Amino acid sequence: MPPQTQRKLYKDYPNVIEEAKKTYRHITENIHKEKHLGLARADEATRCDCSYSSGVDEPSVACGAGSDCINRFLYVECNEGECPCGDACQNRRFKQRSYAEVDLICTEKKGYGVRAKQVIPRDGFILEYVGEVMSDEMAEKRKTAYRQEGRTHFYFMDLQKGEVVDATEYGGLARFINHSCKPNARVDKWIVGRQLRLGIFADRQILPDEEVTFDYSAERSGTTAQRCYCGEDNCRLFLGKDDSELVLEEEPHEMKKADRVPYFLAVLQLTLSKEPKIFRRQLRRMEICTVTEVWKEFVNRNGLSMIRRYLQHFISEGFENDDIVRLLKVLCRIPVTNRAPVVVANIERTFEDIVKARKHPEIRRLIALLEKKWKDLPQAPLIKRALTPATPASTPLSNGKRSRSTTEDIDKPEASSSDDLRSPKRGRSSSEEPQEQLKTPESEKNCETDSKRSPSSSKNSPIYKDDRNTSLNSHTNTSRQDSSLLTASSGGYRKNGHDTSDSYRSHRHRHDARNPDDSRSGYYSNPSPSPRKDYDVRSLHDSWRPKRYSPQKDDNDRGNSSSEANSPMKKESERPKYESSRDFYEGSRSSYSQYRSPHSSTVDRSSRRFDPYRRSPPNDSRNGVESPTKTPPPPPPPPPSHPSPQSDDFPAPQWMRNPNWTESKDDNGKISWVNKFTGERTSQKIKAMIDTTFKTPEGIPQGLVNAKIEESLYRQRQVEEKAAREAAEAAAAKAAKEEAEKAAAEEKRAKEARAAAEAKRIKMARKEKAANYEAMKSKNVITFDTTEAFRDEYRKYVTENAKKFENQLSVELYASQCKKCADKAVEKELRSINEEDKKSKRSTQAKFVLNDYLRRKLSNFVTSYFEALIAKQSKAKGKAKEE
Ligand SMILES: C[S@@+](CC[C@H](N)C(=O)[O-])C[C@H]1O[C@@H](n2cnc3c(N)ncnc32)[C@H](O)[C@@H]1O
């Protein structure tokens, strides 16, 4: 439990419950829009095994928090009348509305909120979240309508798959519970009767005057991303589910500026094979993009190669034909004006693979169209490599220790540039390098021509120049990456027909690093406001995405452009080289895993860790690029211009660093670095250095990419852990349920056996009773002859009425031992004899089976009966005589 001092108490806020209640209609139970909605899909309550003796047991024994109540354990409420604990049952909190005492307050930024008015123990039931239960479709329609109405607060909560509780119009007090990234309550789903219901339960002890909050991310149905004002230190900045989903629901904006292209490509690269949803969004952006400048930039930045990778991925990953068709249609729209980018991307080779793999007619038609369109494009001429010496200003690390020109950086083997690393002849002088051999007089001439041009104007992009042949050669060490693209790529392409897009990239990266004024990178030239404070795939690349801020960074950090000039980031020789997006991603992963266990000595980290000096093994064997050696060469010593990895005066501006790493001081004042997602801790700043020094092929600081990767891995891990936890919980619940079912079945069997034994016993008892009775009967049978009892009268009477009583009626009466019953039976029997007599006018002879008492009793009856009878007869006779 966190110390109480850390908890914010809303003591002085007035209770606004009456005011708030005017904003909706208060209900106490869910309203089901359709009959079938809100029904639990699991079994209902079984009779639990709890037992409770009032005055003897603790009250909680009666299905309370401490009990072993199987229903409670399974989040099922006990049914009234079934629970063995009867009225004492404590597992009927929804039914009995056993809510905690709360009231409402008006918060500063979140609207109304719920405030506890009592101590609520951990796991205590606070409120039920009631509202209208509806299908997803209906909820979606409502969301759209609410958005259009301009509502700011949303009240949707997922109930179960395809069903949502909407508390907007109808609801309870729980609808006012706000979100927090560090909540004190949670939402649990309970089965009550046949229904599924949502309850808010305390996740920890809640004090009076604390605001009750839960985490919307798990429970609430998405609307649009809303800024979170929970104010917690771990605040995720937005409400609701993973905001990627929220944002992705909307139509993306058209990309209108060429300087967004690097971000755009970086997203594609990062998400290849990882996040198809984001890819489809990017695809959509490509589909709607109509700005020629953007497409030019896309092609210049080897976007075709990126498309090739996606196409390859689609074939191998068994994607829908539809994705391929869409991508091919985008390709058809891309304004390619010469073959260089097509060849560099080696995309036609991929077309062959697609045609082999997919028989889809539209795919084939589009590919044929593209092949035809690109076949006749002008060829790009060879361009020599730029060797113009760099001015000191152009080298970011010109601190005297290591002031090499960019060209030296490119050519000098020790510099570990990507070309050097790639070349089997590592260590050769620049004049020996293959690219140098591609020099032609024409390309040299063009190079001279182009060196006079403006270095970064996109109009000078060689591919789009009308004067293509000359512009293609534009290249100096200060020229922008577009030119280097063609320098490297056309060289590779002409030389051996291989895909040289990687070498192209390597060159381009160097340019990225060397050109602090390259406005397109967005990270070097203009740290404020364009550099984002935190790196997120979406925020980095897409202008539509709401900007996130990182609390660790401040404006000073952000604007620290002066330190950029000396930033080791600009040293390209340490920058990681990636052969493909996969390498790129995994390289980053490695760097992540390197820091997972920085102190582990048992792991051979050299094989796993991200090594910025490492030569990336080419992995696209189809492109014919083979790795010259299987094992990468040992890393060259770190450049002297860098601060020592252990040094604490790391000069990189804060905003460039991986924002996940924050500084913390131990008791001795020693500074260490802690990763907020991975929890790793390191006293060295090499991590931050690597992060800030290296850039991805698209010119994004590696640290920021790592940050995103760490974050996504962290989130992925969280999801996996949650899934594992849920699976374990589900398994435990299942096992418990099975156990309970087994126990119930056993109980049922035992009950049946007991019932059968009881039935047998009763049968035996009856049999015995019957036998006893027979015995008793044989002992007690007497024949009570009425003629004997009242011989004279009877004879007389019979003689007088001989005709009437000619038939003898014999009645056998069995009477029990019970006096009352016997009286009744005898009475009844006599009555019926009387009736019979009246009806048939027959003589009566009663035969009785009697005990002593009845014998006496009956004789009295019979006597009185016959007396009455005779009296009646004689009276009737007298009357007749008189007449
Ligand atoms: C279920 S309602 C909560 C009650 C709401 N505050 C009201 O006044 O009705 C959810 C809405 O409250 C607001 N909200 C809740 N938690 C928030 C938070 N941490 N930061 C910002 N807004 C929040 C959002 O507008 C959200 O859509």
- State yes or no: pLDDT of 425 exceeds 70: no
- State yes or no: pLDDT of 542 exceeds 70: no
- Whether 122 is in a domain gets the answer yes
CA 869/CA 436 separation, integer angstroms? 148
Residues 82 and 147 in one domain: yes
Say what the alpha-carbon torsion angle 560, 543, 696, 708 is, to the nearest 10 degrees. Answer: 90
- State pLDDT tens for residues 812-857: 333 334 455 555 655 665 566 556 555 555 444 444 444 444 445 5
Query: Comparing 579 with 767, which gets the higher pLDDT?
Result: 767
Query: Comparing 716 with 588, which gets the higher pLDDT?
Result: 716
Q: Quick one: which H or E segment has residue 31? A: strand 31-32
CA 284/CA 155 separation, integer angstroms? 31
- State yes or no: pLDDT of 724 exceeds 70: yes
Q: What is the DSSP letter of 479?
A: S
- State yes or no: pLDDT of 592 exceeds 70: no
- Counting beta carbons within 10 angstroms of the beta carbon of residue 12, is it exposed (0 to 12), middle (13 to 18) or buried (19 or more)? exposed
CA 277/CA 266 separation, integer angstroms? 15
Residues 30 and 119 in one domain: yes
- State yes or no: pLDDT of 313 exceeds 50: yes
Query: Mapping DSSP to helix (H, G, I), strand (E, B) and coil, where does residue 441 land?
Result: helix
- State yes or no: pLDDT of 307 exceeds 80: yes
Please give the residue range of the domain that contains residue 469.
381-521
pLDDT at 665: 75
> Judging by DSSP bridges, how do beta strands 671-675 and 681-682 pair with one another?
antiparallel
In degrees rounded to 5, what are phi and psi of residue 597? -135, 70
Question: Could you give the number of structural domains in the chain?
Answer: 4
123: left (phi over 0), alpha (psi -120 to 50) or beta: left
Domain boundary among 487, 502, 521: 521
Short-list 736, 725, 693, 581, CA closest to 43 = 736
CA 729/CA 308 separation, integer angstroms? 44
Indicate the pLDDT class of residue 128, thresholds 50, 70 and 90.
very high
CA 18/CA 27 separation, integer angstroms? 15
For residue 675, what are the β-bridge partners? 661
Domain boundary among 490, 521, 552: 521
What mean pLDDT do residues 111-128 have?
Answer: 94
- State pLDDT tens for residues 521-540: 332 333 333 333 333 333 33
Residues 341 and 405 in one domain: no
Residues 237 and 352 in one domain: no
Residues 205 and 109 in one domain: yes
pLDDT at 239: 75
Residues 188 and 302 in one domain: no
In degrees rounded to 5, what are phi and psi of residue 567? -60, 135
Residues 109 and 210 in one domain: yes
Query: Which of 221, 226, 232 to probe ligand 1 with, by most ligand atoms within 8 A of CB?
Result: 226
Quote the ligand 1 centre to 110 CA distance (angstroms): 5
Report which listed range, 39-43, 161-165, 863-867, is most confident: 161-165
SS (H, E, C) 342-385: HHHHCHHHHHHHHHHHCCCHHHHHHHHHHHHHHHCCCCCCCCCC
Q: What is the DSSP letter of 413?
A: G
Short-list 213, 192, 193, CA closest to 102 = 213
CA 720/CA 718 separation, integer angstroms? 5
Quote the ligand 1 centre to 226 CA distance (angstroms): 9
Which residues 6+ apart lie within 8 Å of 577 measured at CB? 418, 421, 422, 502, 505, 506, 509, 615, 616
pLDDT at 448: 35
- Counting beta carbons within 10 angstroms of the beta carbon of residue 202, is it exposed (0 to 12), middle (13 to 18) or buried (19 or more)? buried
Domain boundary among 349, 375, 401: 375
Quote the ligand 1 centre to 720 CA distance (angstroms): 28
Residues 398 and 298 in one domain: no
- Whether 724 is in a domain gets the answer no
Q: How many helices (H) and strands (E) does the chain have?
A: 31, 19
Residues 223 and 352 in one domain: no
Q: What is the DSSP letter of 673?
A: E
- State yes or no: pLDDT of 377 exceeds 50: yes
- Whether 352 is in a domain gets the answer yes
66-70, 183-187, 718-722: lowest mean pLDDT where?
66-70
pLDDT at 718: 82
The answer to whether residues 420 and 426 touch, using CB atoms and an 8 Å cutoff, is: yes
What mean pLDDT do residues 48-60 have?
Answer: 83
Q: Can you tell me which atom of ligand 1 is nearest the CA of 176?
A: 4
pLDDT at 90: 92
- State yes or no: pLDDT of 334 exceeds 70: yes
Residues 54 and 201 in one domain: yes
Q: Can you tell me which atom of ligand 1 is nearest the CA of 167?
A: 1
Report the chain's mean pLDDT, rounded to a whole number. Answer: 63
Residues 23 and 171 in one domain: yes
Residues 54 and 195 in one domain: yes
> Judging by DSSP bridges, how do beta strands 178-179 and 211-214 pair with one another?
parallel
The length of the chain in residues reads 883
- State yes or no: pLDDT of 710 exceeds 60: yes
Quote the ligand 1 centre to 132 CA distance (angstroms): 18
Written as six digits, the tokens of 717 are 């891990």
CA 30/CA 170 separation, integer angstroms? 9
- Whether 799 is in a domain gets the answer yes
Quote the ligand 1 centre to 180 CA distance (angstroms): 10
**Dihedral sign computed on CA atoms, order 847, 848, 849, 852:** negative
Quote the ligand 1 centre to 177 CA distance (angstroms): 7
Whose alpha carbon is nearest atom 14 of ligand 1?
Answer: 110
Quote ipTM for the complex: 0.99
- State pLDDT tens for residues 643-670: 333 333 333 334 345 666 677 777 777 7
CA 77/CA 90 separation, integer angstroms? 9
Q: Can you tell me which atom of ligand 1 is nearest the CA of 216?
A: 16
- Whether 227 is in a domain gets the answer yes
Quote the ligand 1 centre to 499 CA distance (angstroms): 54
Written as six digits, the tokens of 293 are 């400048």
Whose alpha carbon is nearest atom 4 of ligand 1?
Answer: 176
Half-sphere exposure of 600 (CA within 13 A, CB side): 13
- Could you tell me the CA-to-CA distances from 825 to 773, 778, 865 in Å, in that order? 17, 19, 15
Quote the ligand 1 centre to 718 CA distance (angstroms): 25
- State pLDDT tens for residues 432-488: 333 333 333 333 333 333 333 333 333 333 333 333 333 333 333 333 333 333 333
- Whether 189 is in a domain gets the answer yes
- Whether 752 is in a domain gets the answer no
The binding-site residues of ligand 1, defined as CB within 6 angstroms of any ligand atom, are 109-113, 152-155, 175-176, 178-180, 226, 228-230, 239
Whose alpha carbon is nearest atom 26 of ligand 1?
Answer: 153
Whose alpha carbon is nearest atom 1 of ligand 1?
Answer: 155
- State yes or no: pLDDT of 296 exceeds 80: yes
